[in-house]
Amino acid sequence: MIFYRQNLTDAKLLELYKRILKPRLIEEKMLILIRQGKVSKWFSGIGQEAIAVGVTAVLDESEYILPMHRNLGVFTTRDIPLHRLFSQWQGKANGFTKGRDRSFHFGTQEYKIIGMISHLGPQLGIADGIALADKLQNNKKITAAFTGEGATSEGDFHEALNIAAVWKLPVMFIIENNGYGLSTPTNEQYLCTNLADKGIGYGIESHIIDGNNILEVYNKLSELKEQMQNDPHPVLLEFKTFRMRGHEEASGTKYVPQELMDEWAEKDPVTNYRKFLTETGVLTAEFDEQLHAEIKQEIDENLAIANAEPEIIPTYSGELDDVYKPFIYEEVTHSEETKNIRFIDAIRNSLEQSMQNHRNLIIMGQDIAEYGGAFKITDGFVEFFGKDRVRNTPICESAVVSTGMGLSINGYKAIVEMQFADFVSTGFNPIVNLLAKSHYRWGEKADVVVRMPCGGGTQAGPFHSQTNEAWFTKTPGLKVVYPAFPYDAKGLLNTSINDPNPVLFFEHKQLYRSVYQDVPTDYYTIPLGKAAVLKEGNNVTIIAFGAPVHWALDTLANNPEIDADLIDLRTLQPLDTETIFASVKKTGKVIIYQEDTLFGGIASDISALIMEECFEYLDAPVKRVASLDSPIPFTKALEDQFLPKNRFEEVLFDLLKY
């Protein structure tokens, strides 16, 4: 192994040595603790320290790094107190996740480190969002995101690289090619000779770097960083390296040929760098011994601090209170000036006024810029707000959602428009595993609204007609809003954008141009979690949301003898159970009306809540009316049969007769 110091001073060479030695000595201690049963799990980075240390040493402390689970050198080079890391690994409160996640599955704004989730790929999209925020501010900052060779097979990898290339984002995509994805060797993972070649397909500059040579890592990345600052663009870096331990300690290394282990042992990044420094007279044996002693003492002292920390005592409130970032709703009232507009105009009006109120708000989606979106809601926005803030995206929902999370991390608000709610399935993972869990895991907000044009009645077939709110009401950490009227749509969308938590905002396509209402022309808000009682009666409670609210209104208009409470939920998460229970206790009968298919829909949960909380007030079984348990069909006759509109009255009258 050949080391080129270039213009680095002796002091810098020694600093890098101390940086690379520290994670190695911590790891050696951790292996002892694993054998003693004092740590439950460990993902070793022995043999790969030069990459994590070299990358982090090149970046400024204000620049974000997104490491993986064997990049201890990132955390130590950022000088995180070791007792906090030990507390994190032991699941104690002084760690970064309050015992809610393990090892390196955490982030910290204090040290500008954004931790991974086990699905790996989404963190690359987060890096895009962080870098986009930096580019918009023209602050010349660089973002570095780590991944392994195994994750380069994930769709998120390709989506994130493509976005970074198209938008010219200053991201270093770092592939630690250590030969194995758990036990699967590289020749069973991809066919190309070098992963760096994948950059060619995206028009991205790429390089292959010796990941075991700390000076090659540091010098090459220093050069690249300067270029990226002067001309923002992404780079793909493949670091050739090897992990000398198993995927995690329990898995061992029996699947690795011994000759391969021996070959890479000779390329050890710490041993070889020490040898170079010693031979060139930069490092003396005395100073090396002193460094070892100082670091080992630091490890022992900080481990003692963590060991003395008490175990976490769980409380219900402690857990539930951290699912969402606290949000103090600010009521903004409106003037009396109104205009009779359509549902779609109310959405547009909200977006327009919110973009004016929040200068850090970015809208992203397919065809939303010059074209104005599939439904023309953002038509003309580019001329008013510019393409920096109204951004066409490639067709890659997953990375776009992750990019929204990156924008949120770096001080922006994001709105992601799904062209159709059905397409959210290709962005499902970052919504339910990244946005939803970030605040609970490590206290980080996810200031992202995902707009969801949804619903049937337009003969658009199985892939453009679903109303899939139940996919998300089940997931703690998400808020789900589903208005039925223009007035509510505008006020609730304004509040959703103000809320720092992730919101799925459902907009029924059939209502876009068919429902009109007098809507205030100025900006106003409506609180989430508060239902609207549209009609009051004493004999039955009808609970609905979205298009079924209008269907129920038609039924009541055609049958004026029905004495009913009609509740428009408006928000599904949080759910206004107070209004629901009060009405049911008054009427004694309840029917829940949803467009979604029956089994597993939110009507089932509302029914269960009513049975638990209002059983003694009920005069009849709780009834649910929903679409057929089949995919939604295309032909009008089949779609009409699928939707619950033709079945509601019969069930309602049977309930009234009970």
Residues acting as catalytic residues: 464
Q: At CA 125, angle to CA 124 and CA 129, rounded to 5?
A: 120
Q: In what order do the strands lie in the sheet with 479-481?
A: 390-392, 361-365, 413-417, 448-454, 503-508, 479-481, 571-573
What values do phi and psi take at 173, rounded to 5? -90, 115
Q: How far apart are CA 89 and CA 95, in angstroms?
A: 8
Q: In what order do the strands lie in the sheet with 235-240?
A: 65-66, 143-148, 171-177, 235-240, 205-210
Comparing CA positions, the residue from 204, 171, 153 lying closest to residue 59 is: 171
Name the token pair of 27. 């790891």
Comparing CA positions, the residue from 159, 180, 154, 312 lying closest to residue 246 is: 180
Please check whether residue 399 is in contact with residue 405, taking contact to mean a CB–CB distance below 8 angstroms: no
Q: How far apart are CA 451 and CA 503, in angstroms?
A: 8
Count other C-beta atoms under 10 Å from residue 627's C-beta.
23
HSE at residue 328, side-chain half, CA atoms within 13 A, is 0
Q: Bridge-partner residues for 453, per DSSP?
A: 507
What values do phi and psi take at 351, rounded to 5? -60, -45
Count other C-beta atoms under 10 Å from residue 325's C-beta.
18
Q: How far apart are CA 488 and CA 485, in angstroms?
A: 5
Please check whether residue 393 is in contact with residue 163, taking contact to mean a CB–CB distance below 8 angstroms: yes
